[in-house]
Amino acid sequence: MNINKTLFLVTLCFFWVTACSDSNPEMSEPTQIPRMTVRSTPTPIITTTDKTKTNEPALTDVTTYYNNGVSYLELGKYQEAIEAFTKAIKINPRTAAIYYNRGTAYYVLEEYQNAVEDYTRAINLDPSDTWAYSNRGVAYDELGQHQKAIEDYSKAIKLDPSDIVTYRNRGNAYDLLGRYESAIEDYTKAIKLDPSDPDVYGNRGASYYILGEYQKAIEDYSKAIELNPSDPVTYNIRGDSYSELGAYQKAIEDYSKAIELNPSDIVTYNLRGTSYYMLGEVQQAIKDYTKAIELEPNFPNSYGNRGSAYYYIKEYIKAIKDYTKVIELSPTDFISYYNRGISYRQIGEHQKAIEDFTKVIDLGQGQIDTDKVKNLLTDSQNILLEIKK
């Protein structure tokens, strides 16, 4: 039985302030979360005690409980599997395979500490068990103990240098620790062992992306697409790489393909809209942001992006309405207070602009250059004083 768990690459939109001015509000930028792949396989054999020893239960009792546990695993009845393996352990506590399989059941039930403990018992009984090290590493990863995971993966690789999955998992652990060059080395080793796995190319591409090596990322994503042309996520993240290089038309083509494969992906509509925006095709951008809003009316970034597009074409009232919606959905989003504030300035609503800039200063301490916001606030205050004279 193979148990696979994948955390797909997710692209999210965030607002960032790089400068405070009355120019265009800042658009969204993508961030990546590398995908994680896990494999756990119960051992189909069992090593039993010598049935000639005295005071030992009948071999068939252990075998029956063990085989029942394996059957439950294959049926996805993990709690029943744990109970069966526990009964086998009570009869025979010296068999590594039973602990290994119970650890796998614990893992699937997300009882990761219990899984670690059982894999550790399996290792103590059989220090040559490659998969016990590998799976304990996976459980450590789930517990956020990535350095311990790397140590286990390294031990597994030493025992079996041809284990593709463990190279891949160690690469993921390096990635999670921000050691992207080491991650790339492991993904490269996995690719040499099996050049037909699209996910490994995708993982390596993600590491290249984070390092700013966008052309290499594109090459890896392109290979992943060649191997699996039906995965919308890979088109999406290749589009991000094209966007980083300023190749917005190519980014649009990839985002469009991703949308074709997954028409309900609001994030990709936002990203394609932003690429249209960067090409000056603002009405197309607005259409994409509007579509994202129709699909998910409570996702604040879509309103923020559409507000920025409206601001660009000087439809300030519409921009204010969208920024207000962002604030309603996310009351601590100081960027939208800023964007709404500069929009109010454009229509002469300086008192409201002052209120928004004040809010930006309160919420954005330590995150933005508040001096520039204060300059805008002071300017609006001076304008109001002049009006009152």
- Judged by average pLDDT, the poorest of 32-46, 187-201, 356-370 is 32-46
Q: Token pair for residue 352? A: 């409201």
Q: What average pLDDT does the chain have?
A: 85
pLDDT at 354 > cutoff 90? yes
**Per-range mean pLDDT, top range of 217-226, 367-376, 379-388:** 217-226
pLDDT band at 60 (very low <50, low <70, confident <90, very high): low
Q: pLDDT tens across 270-296, in order?
A: 999 999 999 999 999 999 999 999 999
Q: pLDDT tens across 304-344, in order?
A: 999 999 999 999 999 999 999 999 999 999 999 999 999 99
pLDDT at 6 > cutoff 90? no
pLDDT at 176 > cutoff 90? yes
Half-sphere exposure of 107 (CA within 13 A, CB side): 31
pLDDT band at 372 (very low <50, low <70, confident <90, very high): confident
pLDDT band at 69 (very low <50, low <70, confident <90, very high): very high
pLDDT at 367: 85
pLDDT at 13: 30
Domains of the chain from N-terminus onward: 36-194 (1.25.40.10)
pLDDT band at 9 (very low <50, low <70, confident <90, very high): very low
pLDDT at 52: 26
pLDDT at 342: 96
Q: Token pair for residue 345? A: 């300035």
